[in-house]
Amino acid sequence: MAEKLKNKVTDGFQKGHPYGELPPCIHVGILNFNQMISPNYYHKFCLMDEKTKEIYSRKFQFHMLELKKLKYAKEKQQRKPLYQWAKLIAAQTWEELEQESKGNKYMERALEEMIKISQDEMERYLYLREEMAESDRVSQMQSAKRIGRKEGKKEGEILKLITQVQKKIARGDSLEKIADDLIEDETVIKPIYQLVQGNPNKTEDDIYQMLNLL
C-alpha cells in the first residue's frame, strides 16, 4: 500500500525538481453510510500532529462525502456545486438523475455518459447470456449422448422415452415426477425434459436429432 501511494505521489516528478512541486495526492471517499459524528455531509482531512495540531503536509488530502447527511444540508450549502454533484451521485432512479442534472451542462453530459455505460453493460449482459444459453444447450446434448451410450439405449428406446416425457410435460408433470414415474435417473431425463420444454412443437424425431447433433 505504501509503495502504491509513493508511486502515485511521485508519478511524473522530475529528478532535481524541489519537492514543493509535487502534485497533491487526493483521496475521495463517497459513503452511503454515516462515518463522522458531525452532521456535515462533506469533510476534508489532512495529515496532522495529534498533539500540536500542526499540519504535516497539505499534499495528502482526504475528502469525504456522506450521502445520507445531504438532507441535513443548510440552504446556503445547497446552493454550492458540491452539494448538487452529491445529490446527483445519491440519485436512485433515472428520473432523479434527470431532475438533478437538468440545467447544468456538465451534469447533463455526465448523465449521458452514465446512460451510455449502462447501455453498454446491458448489451454485454445480453450477449453473455446468449453465449451461456448456447453453451448450456450444447452441454445438454453432449450429456444426453453420453448417457445414451452409457445406458446402452438404442434409438427406439430413446424415442419411446422422449414420447413419454412429451406426454407427461403436456400434463404439467415436473422433472422429478417424470423421472420417478418412468423409474429413470433425473440426469437421464433432464436433457430430454429441457429440450422438450424449449421446443414444444417438435416431434420425438426432432428431439432425438437435437440430442445427437454432436
Note the pLDDT tens digit of each residue in 168-185.
999 989 988 998 888 888
Q: What is the pLDDT of residue 100?
A: 86
55-66/42-48 β-pairing: antiparallel
CA 212, chain centre distance (Å): 36
Give the residue with greater pLDDT, 13 vs 158: 158
Give the mean pLDDT of 141-151.
55
Q: What is the pLDDT of residue 2?
A: 46
The tens digit of pLDDT for each residue in 152-167 reads 557 778 888 889 999 9
Give the mean pLDDT of 97-119.
83
Q: What is the pLDDT of residue 6?
A: 47
The set of cell numbers assigned to 85 is: 454533484
Confidence of residue 214 (pLDDT cuts 50, 70, 90): very low
Q: What is the pLDDT of residue 150?
A: 47
Residues pairing with 64 in the sheet:
29, 43
Give the mean pLDDT of 50-73.
89
d(CA 194, CA 199) in angstroms, rounded, equals 8
Q: What is the pLDDT of residue 1?
A: 46
DSSP class of residue 91 equals -
- Per-residue pLDDT at 99 exceeds 80: yes
189, exposed or middle or buried, with CB in 10 Å at 0-12, 13-18, 19+?
Answer: buried
Nearest to 209 by CA among 162, 146, 167: 162
The domain ranges of the chain are 2-74, 137-211
Confidence of residue 213 (pLDDT cuts 50, 70, 90): low
